[in-house]
Amino acid sequence: MTTQTHLIHSRRFLPLFVTQLLNAFNDNLFKNAMVLFVVYQVYQSEQEGAQFSAIASAIFILPFFLLSAIAGQLADMRDKARIIRMVKAAEIGIMLVGGAGLFLAWQGTMVTTLAIPLMLLALLGMGVHSTFFGPIKYAILPQHLHQDEVLAGTGLVEAGTYIAILAGTIVAGWIEVEWAALGVLATAIVGYLTSRHVPPAPPQGEIEPLDFHFVRASIDLVKRTAHDKRVFLAIMAISFFWTVGTVLFIQFPPLAKHVLHANKEAASLFLVIFSVGVAIGSMSVNALLKGTVSARYSPASVLVMAAFVGVFFLICRQWPQLPEGTLYDTAGFIAMPLAIPLLLALLGIAVAGGMFVVPLYAFLTTFVDKTQTSRTIAANNIVNSGAMVIGSLLASGLSAAGVSIVNQVLLSAVMCIYSAHLGRKLVQAERAAQAM
């Protein structure tokens, strides 16, 4: 905790921390304002809402799959702080487009013909923006922090990300879309200003030419990263975790509306609880490990996550059936007999998930050469995003096939079990490396 407090006050860490905090806040303010508006105001059926949520997730994730190799090369071969400032400047233009879409949605006259395409275009732009920012926010840590500070820094970044998701989710659920339009633009401007204070982070090794052939570069990058068994297993485990997370996040808005009969503000409570839980888990695992990078708690954590998903599924199955269109506000929802157990189960899912994933991200930045950290994170993003796109398409396909949202929740529990298997193999590889 002392290390974490020290880092928060350090210029080596604080500007980056605030910049990525604003980045995550803006992503979620925009995405949730858009998805909640469309699910609650445009589409009236569970199937249509779930499909739109899945399509929006896939659009945001796709750039990670296509462009992460280029982003990783660029971050390792150029000054990371300079790239951050360029990316944050681009965010202002993207949010001009996204804000225009939200504003037109508020007008209500051109929602389906212009507002939704503009919002989806901005969502794609934010995906590209986050693709180039993502490798840097973790890879820059070993460059600015001491070895014994990296796990604490990673935990703070992860916890901060979810606190920002929490804030963005709350704001998106409680304000009207016209205020969200102003909010995303203002946040982008402030994010650019804070990025100007990130200390220089020049390349650590020889500058190599960029390979702009994204297919070849992606394949080569993943192959090079896979040579360290621990890093490879960490990437695979993270990928399955985010597949589970993607399916859950896609399900939340239509599940809240059509199964749990919660209105837009009450629906945001689900994402709030999830974000708080991951932040708690991120900080807790750092305290348990005492700054040591290790995956020893990961298999048990994700099995606990699977158990809480199962509990969440059973509670949803027992939820009272009400006439379609009946929606409770936050107070009315919490007053329901099963609401508190449901929210506690969701909190358990998130805490266990945070404890599972944070040490795995630390693996990616501490067990590779500093000249390769951005590319390692980029390789992770390629595999992660591919898994998340598959998760989005799977959720969309199941919805189209008529599989209920509640039954799709059970799929997440099954994927957690396989993540535990990968986590156990990672612990075995870790122990083998320590014995050498």
What single-letter amino acid sits at 321?
Q
Could you please report the per-residue DSSP string of 121-145? Answer: HHHHHHHHHHHHHHHHHHHTHHHHS
CA end-to-end distance (rounded Å), the chain: 32
Tell me the two tokens of residue 218: 């992606």
Model confidence pLDDT, tens digit, residues 374-390: 677 777 878 887 887 77
Residue 323: how many other CB atoms lie within 10 Å = 6
Q: Tell me how far apart the alpha carbons of residues 84 and 8 are, in angstroms, rounded to a whole number.
A: 19
Strand partners, 262: 328
Q: Report the pLDDT value the prediction gives residue 264, as an integer from 0 to 100.
A: 74
291 Rama sector, left if φ>0, alpha if ψ -120 to 50, beta otherwise: left
Could you write out the DSSP letters of every residue in 248-274?
A: HHHHHHHHHHHTS-B-HHHHHHHHHHH
Q: What per-residue confidence (pLDDT) applies to 191?
A: 93
Q: If we measure between CA atoms, which residue out of 245, 67, 75 comes closest to residue 143? A: 75
E strands within 272-328? none
pTM over 0.85: no
329 and 257 in contact (C-beta within 8 Å)?
A: no
94: Cα separation from own chain's centroid? 19
3-state SS, residue 328: strand
Tokens describing residue 353:
């998930």
CB 270 within 8 A of CB 345: no
C-alpha torsion sign, points 362, 368, 374, 376 = negative
| pLDDT for the residue numbered 110 | 53
Using only C-alpha atoms, the chain has a radius of gyration, in whole angstroms, of: 21
221 CB contacts (<8 Å, ≥6 apart)?
A: 68, 69, 72, 73, 375, 378, 379, 382
* pLDDT reported for residue 90: 94
List of the chain residues with pLDDT < 50: 1-3
Burial of 124 (0-12, 13-18, 19+ CB in 10 A): middle
pLDDT at 111: 56
